[in-house]
Amino acid sequence: MKPLRLGVLGSGQGSNFVALAEAIRSELIPAEIVLVAGDQAEAKILAHARERKLPVYACPKSAFRTKLEPEIEEELAGTLAKAGTELVVLAGYLRVLKKPLLDGFGGRIINIHPSLLPSFPGLKAWEQALKARVTQTGCTVHWVNETVDGGAVIRQAKVNVQPGDTAESLHARIQHAEHRLLPEVVRDLATQRIPWPKDPRIS
């Protein structure tokens, strides 16, 4: 089976990227990572990628916190395309995707989010869950479209909220679930166990 070519985007520590890369290294997923991109040069995910001798791209500094300038995102989309990316994986990527990436890779972008969507979209979903006093939360892998955290759900993993949980303890358990869920979904996409959207803009 031909390996699925992945481009991974991140903004922070890169723990989901590490889980994915280790699953690929262990031959649990028929995929290869052709590019790891960060929206800022100091993102830890890029250091993890360099340690693994993987191609790395750091976006130029942006004037915005929640999105990239069109020309910066255009360059990122072009770099992913030149690397031969077939699936874009958002692994802790904190920017809202706009036209360049959505047009270039519509229907071929997945994201992992730390809640059971549609509950608690947006930032710090584990804190939202605690404030809402829910007894169960979790994580979701979903297709990415124009709506933030609004694309079709692919698969979810549940995490119980325990008495005495803090934001830190709950987040840690959600991340543990993410590290299982994301590689599992990429594996099933790579082996066609999960169908890909027929229309590239329906996600």
Strand partners, 10: 38
| Total domain count, the chain | 1
Domain of residue 72 covers 4-190
**73 within some domain:** yes
**107 within some domain:** yes
Identify whether the C-beta of residue 177 lies closer than 8 Å to the C-beta of residue 160: no
pLDDT digits (tens, 9 = 90+) for 181-201: 999 999 999 999 998 987 545
Q: What share of the chain is helix, strand, coil (3-state, %, to 5)?
A: 35, 20, 45
pLDDT digits (tens, 9 = 90+) for 53-111: 999 999 999 999 899 999 999 999 999 999 999 999 999 999 999 999 999 998 999 99
**55 within some domain:** yes
**203 within some domain:** no
**198 within some domain:** no
Q: In degrees, to the nearest 5, what angle opens at C-alpha 132 toward C-alphas 128 and 135?
A: 105
**146 within some domain:** yes
Enclosing H/E stretch for 102: helix 99-105
Residue 48: active-site member: no
Distances 73 to 47, 104, 122 between C-alpha atoms, Å: 21, 11, 20
Question: What percentage of the chain exceeds 70 in pLDDT?
Answer: 98
Helices in 52-98 by DSSP H: which ranges?
70-82
**116 within some domain:** yes
At a CB cut-off of 8 Å and minimum separation 6, what does 19 contact? 178, 179, 180, 182, 183
**17 within some domain:** yes
Q: Can you tell me the distance from the alpha carbon of 7 to that of 59, in angstroms, rounded to the nearest whole number?
A: 14
The CATH number of the domain holding residue 114 is 3.40.50.170
Q: Which of 48, 113, 142, 179 is catalytic?
A: 113
